[in-house]
Amino acid sequence: MELREFAEQILFGTCLEDKLRDPGEVTDDRPGNAIIAPPQPGRPSELHFKPSGKGPGGFPGDDELGETAGRGRLLHFFANHELLATELMALALLRFPEAPAAFRHGVLQTLRDEQDHTRRYLARMKACGVTFGELPVSGYFWRAVAPMEQPIDYVAGLSLTFEQANLDFARHFAARFAAVGDPESATLLERIHHDEIGHVAHGLKWFRRWKDPRLDDWEAFRQQLKFPLSPARARGFSIDVASRQAAGFHPGFIAQLRVQGQSKGRAPTVWVFNPFTEGRLAHGRDFTPVKTQAQLARDLATLPLFLARRDDVVLVNRQPRIAWLEQVAAAGFPLVEWVELNEGQIPADHSLTRRKIGGLRPWAWGPDSLELLRPLIPLTSDREPTVAQESPEILARLHSKVWSADLLRRFLAGRPGTSWLCPGEVVGIAAGSWNEVSAAVADIRRRGHHRIVVKESLGLAGRNAIRLWEPEVLPAQRRWIERATAAGRPVVVEPWLERVADFSCQLEAGTTRLTRCGFTGLTTDARGQFQANHAGPPPFSPPTMVAELLRTTAGHRVSIVDFYDELIAFIAGPLLESGYVGPVGVDAFVYLDAAGHPRLKPLVELNPRFTMGRLTLALMRQVGPGSTGRFRLLGHNHLKTAGVGTFEALAGSLAERNPVRLEGSPVARIREGVVFLNDPVEVEASLAVFEVTASGRATAGNKL
């Protein structure tokens, strides 16, 4: 039989027996003209593709494979995949008649293997009581590969993607069939696994011949795939390294594949770390981060990974190193798709700009994140920016410490005489000029508070406040206040309180309600600046010491959760009326009053953005029952304390003393150990560390 006739019989035939018939000797003397791919291959009616987007059609889970019917359904899926591969190979022969004869011969041999696989699957299905076509069949492979325009598209899409993934799936399910007492199916999967190694090797050989010689295998493969295909499609539940080595892949390619993520159907959420929103809101385009701020932003660009779900997208200026990603994946955290920005913008030709997007989740909504994400807004099906998120005026008000102080003052006015709550006199006073600041300082000191802090209403942590400890305001302090209040920008003047316990309450604002996500403990330095967050296991209750401190004053155990639900209900009104949707953090602390009694200041700042506290709660999703977690930022001072010269050395020391230990099944979680949330090799100024401690044990890194 002539090869073209054989390929046409497979591609256009509507009789399954004809599509799977062995043609005997095949010649390729009359390849004919190239055809255009049909919308779908010819098939009997019961094997027509189910409509796209109608779900997986009942793919059985591992727990169903103990039943004969469950194994039969799984074999039904595999049979359709093999038939699809057969049809796509026939299409490749008809689409590319001018391809090298050796390539066409290799495709023919592979096609005959796929026919054999399909026939064997049909026999095993029949033994399990399942008939081919009684279940819906997917056409995803066809839709993804059939638009191929040149032979390299075929080998990249079918050989190096779907067949490469089958190296993992065939081996995985062979073991599962053997475990449930089905040696016949297990043997079949092992045979197919062996054949797939040769199929992938054939594709890899021709891919290397046709790819851009200036690119290595990985980069050429990544660039060649067209959405919806992605490198993540080329692997299964776990990576079968030995099979890939046998097929001819280099170690670097395998390492890259191990850490790749892209959504396999769900519209991904897009994340980005943009910590300078308040600076932009306060100073507009004139805002420029100082060197230390810019270093911090670069160092922490990977943090959204730990907020994201598997296969979401994280925007970064440079993709992280493979070695670090492997460590993160080994700790059980999800794989995401990394998209590199080009001069701070999403590349116009990136597939992300042509895909359906599930949602946009910047660290903070503001002019900077809107500029970056605007190309994706028309593609977004959920959580499109609200009017509030697109309004600098509304966002500036929500970020304003003046607004937070006003909220707290109004809330306290409705709860007079509560002995364990702060009085209204310690709430910050808004001041818009040096004279107003001077008057506020005098008023606060008349009430007995001699130490005072002045905060910019909008500004980045670390450079937005000064402390007035001396009886008279110093000239340099006055100049700072005058600069801060320039152009009518207010500051907040408030008494300095002796904190004994800082914490935060993390919320999520929807369109109609404000939801409590949980509480985290908060460690600050002598200036009240962030050092660490810590949290216990779900339900993420407030730190125990907060309730214990207040109990000594209140005379009974204070329900902080119930109290915060009241505060949240109060905040919800004005916050939801503004139209803001997204994360919200509420910072709070317990302090000692002049008589030495603990009091609660329940709302110090309201942050309409992601916070390190919210990040800590997200990290705790990967922590096992009974363990606690602490998120810290380690700087150059910690290098000196540890007696090491680099963050890489510091990380090595911490990991050696506190290695990650996972427990649990079927999903293993961290029992104890230290995970680095950015790459110690590339950190400039701040190493992000998550330390997990098992109940009753001290954290090995506490010496720092």
Q: What average pLDDT does range 429-451 have in this prediction?
A: 95
Q: What average pLDDT does range 191-197 have in this prediction?
A: 97
The answer to whether residues 506 and 606 belong to one domain is yes
DSSP H helices, 259-391, are 277-283, 291-299, 322-330, 367-373
Q: What average pLDDT does range 518-540 have in this prediction?
A: 86
At residue 615, does pLDDT exceed 70? yes
At residue 504, does pLDDT exceed 70? yes
What is the pLDDT at residue 385?
79
**Which one has a higher pLDDT value, 410 or 667?**
410
pLDDT in tens, 221-276: 999 998 888 898 999 988 999 999 999 999 999 999 988 876 566 789 999 999 99
Q: Tell me, yes or no, whether 21 lies in a domain.
A: no
Instruction: Give me the residue label for tokens 């000064």.
Output: 466
Residue 679 structural domain: 623-703
CB 88 within 8 A of CB 145: yes
Q: Tell me, yes or no, whether 31 lies in a domain.
A: no
At residue 34, does pLDDT exceed 70? yes
Encode 13-37: b = buried (16+ Cβ within 10 Å), e = exposed: beebeebbbeeeebeeeebeeebeb
Q: Tell me, yes or no, whether 53 lies in a domain.
A: no
The answer to whether residues 167 and 237 belong to one domain is yes
Lowest-pLDDT range of 43-47, 78-82, 263-267, 495-499 = 263-267
The answer to whether residues 612 and 629 belong to one domain is no
The answer to whether residues 426 and 568 belong to one domain is yes
Q: What average pLDDT does range 75-100 have in this prediction?
A: 97
Q: In whole angstroms, what is the distance from residue 510 CA to residue 365 CA?
A: 14
What is the pLDDT at residue 459?
78
Q: In which band, very low, low, confident or very high, does the pLDDT at 670 lie, cut at 50, 70 and 90?
A: very high
Q: Tell me, yes or no, whether 54 lies in a domain.
A: no
At residue 57, does pLDDT exceed 80? no
Q: What average pLDDT does range 582-604 have in this prediction?
A: 95
Phi/psi of residue 467, each to 5°? -110, 130
What is the pLDDT at residue 700?
46
Instruction: Give me the residue label for tokens 């093999």.
Output: 82
Q: In which band, very low, low, confident or very high, does the pLDDT at 696 lie, cut at 50, 70 and 90?
A: low
What is the pLDDT at residue 402?
95
Q: What average pLDDT does range 271-294 have in this prediction?
A: 91
The answer to whether residues 294 and 416 belong to one domain is no
What is the pLDDT at residue 701?
47
Q: Which residues pair with 675 in a beta bridge?
A: 690
pLDDT in tens, 117-163: 999 999 999 999 999 999 999 999 999 999 999 999 999 999 999 99
At residue 335, does pLDDT exceed 90? no
Picking from 223, 258, 293, the residue at the C-terminal end of a domain is 258
CATH of the domain at 197: 1.20.1260.10
The answer to whether residues 297 and 441 belong to one domain is no
pTM of the model: 0.84
The answer to whether residues 557 and 633 belong to one domain is no
Please work out, in degrees rounded to the nearest 5, the angle formed at the alpha carbon of residue 621 by the alpha carbons of 615 and 623: 110
What is the pLDDT at residue 585?
97
The answer to whether residues 81 and 219 belong to one domain is yes
The answer to whether residues 556 and 609 belong to one domain is yes
Q: Tell me, yes or no, whether 46 lies in a domain.
A: no
What is the pLDDT at residue 419?
86
Q: Tell me, yes or no, whether 49 lies in a domain.
A: no
DSSP H helices, 300-379, are 322-330, 367-373
Q: Tell me, yes or no, whether 45 lies in a domain.
A: no
Q: In whole angstroms, what is the distance from residue 87 CA to residue 13 CA?
A: 10
Lowest-pLDDT range of 96-105, 347-356, 560-569 = 347-356
Task: Count CB-CB contacts under 10 A for residue 563.
Answer: 19
Q: What average pLDDT does range 468-484 have in this prediction?
A: 92
Q: In whole angstroms, what is the distance from residue 525 CA to residue 462 CA?
A: 11
Instruction: Give me the residue label for tokens 């505060």.
Output: 567
pLDDT in tens, 681-692: 999 999 999 999
Q: In which band, very low, low, confident or very high, does the pLDDT at 116 lie, cut at 50, 70 and 90?
A: very high
Which is it for the CA torsion 212, 215, 217, 218, positive or negative?
negative
Picking from 329, 350, 385, the residue at the C-terminal end of a domain is 385
Q: What average pLDDT does range 365-381 have in this prediction?
A: 92
Q: What average pLDDT does range 431-449 have in this prediction?
A: 95
What is the pLDDT at residue 355?
87
The answer to whether residues 233 and 97 belong to one domain is yes
Write the CB contacts of 200 (distance below 8 Å, at least 6 apart in sequence). 159, 160, 163, 164, 167, 244, 247
The answer to whether residues 99 and 183 belong to one domain is yes
At residue 558, does pLDDT exceed 80? no
Q: How many domains does the chain have?
A: 4
What is the pLDDT at residue 382?
66
At residue 703, does pLDDT exceed 90? no
The answer to whether residues 233 and 287 belong to one domain is no
Both structure tokens of 496: 């300095």
Q: What average pLDDT does range 546-560 have in this prediction?
A: 77
pLDDT averaged over the chain?
92
Q: Tell me, yes or no, whether 17 lies in a domain.
A: no
CATH of the domain at 600: 3.30.470.20
Picking from 616, 641, 665, the residue at the C-terminal end of a domain is 616
Q: What average pLDDT does range 644-657 have in this prediction?
A: 96
CB 307 within 8 A of CB 361: yes
